[in-house]
Chain A
Amino acid sequence: QLQLQESGPGLVKPSETLSLTCTVSGGSISSSSYYWGWIRQPPGKGLEWIGSIYYSGSTYYNPSLKSRVTISVDTSKNQFSLKLSSVTAADTAVYYCARRRRSGPYGMDVWGQGTTVTVSS
């Protein structure tokens, strides 16, 4: 079955760029039916959607993070990636990748296990 796996550094220094990758296995990221996205959860807090990408490369982002976020896709590797620039301690969180259907009233039905990123010098 489809699985998602996040990877990347667990520690990032303030003002630097956070970079994470989500690897899709058991299915193709090039499916025309799905968006692929990132969600984060600060310690002890709720969920925040960061942004999503379609296999063609079209993206949409949370307006509150848009100026610092870039999401890209590499269909040859069946991966998509997140870059978040100019990080501060407020960006410390568990970062999840997830899949959702491209259209219609559907939820995010497949999630990665999450990866913890700490912003600290």
Chain B
Amino acid sequence: DIQMTQSPSSLSASVGDRVTITCRASQSISSYLNWYQQKPGKAPKLLIYAASSLQSGVPSRFSGSGSGTDFTLTISSLQPEDFATYYCQQSYSTPNFGQGTRLEIK
């Protein structure tokens, strides 16, 4: 099984901040890495696929990078609606998710 580890588990930031979340795979997954945003009581929403491709309709302040085992999700300038939980997910083999990063307002 490929294990996905996100860091940090939680993060406090202010509107306008630049934020980076990291996801590490236990073995190489090439670019088979996706990022989701989930708000309370809602289904996850796909933000980034194939490590760095922006899903249609997602604001350009979201970006992804990385390949192999190390990946990052960056939000360039936090907006009030961005406070949520973020998950990475590998689709290289049996799909699985990281444990999540909760982004809170400072």
Binding site for B on A (CB under 8 A): 37, 46-49, 52, 60, 62-63, 96, 98, 100, 104-109, 111-114
Contacts and interface: CB of A to CB of B under 8 A. Distances in A.
A113 B44 CA distance: 9
Give the bracket for the number of chain B residues in contact with chain A.
20 to 34
9 contacts: A46-B98, A46-B100, A49-B94, A96-B44, A104-B50, A105-B31, A105-B32, A108-B44, A111-B44
Nearest to B36: A107
Nearest to A61: B94
A47 B32 contact: no
- The prevalent SS among residues of B at the interface is loop
Given A105-B33, A107-B34, A49 B97 contact: yes
Contacts of B89: 47, 49, 107-108
B11 to A, nearest CB: 16
A107 B99 CA distance: 17
A108 B87 CA distance: 12
Contacts of A111: 43-45
Contacts of A46: 87, 97-100
Interface string B73-100: 0000000000000010101101111111
B30 A105 contact: yes
A105 B46 CA distance: 13
B55 interface: yes
A109 B46 CA distance: 6
A47 B44 contact: yes
B50 A106 contact: yes
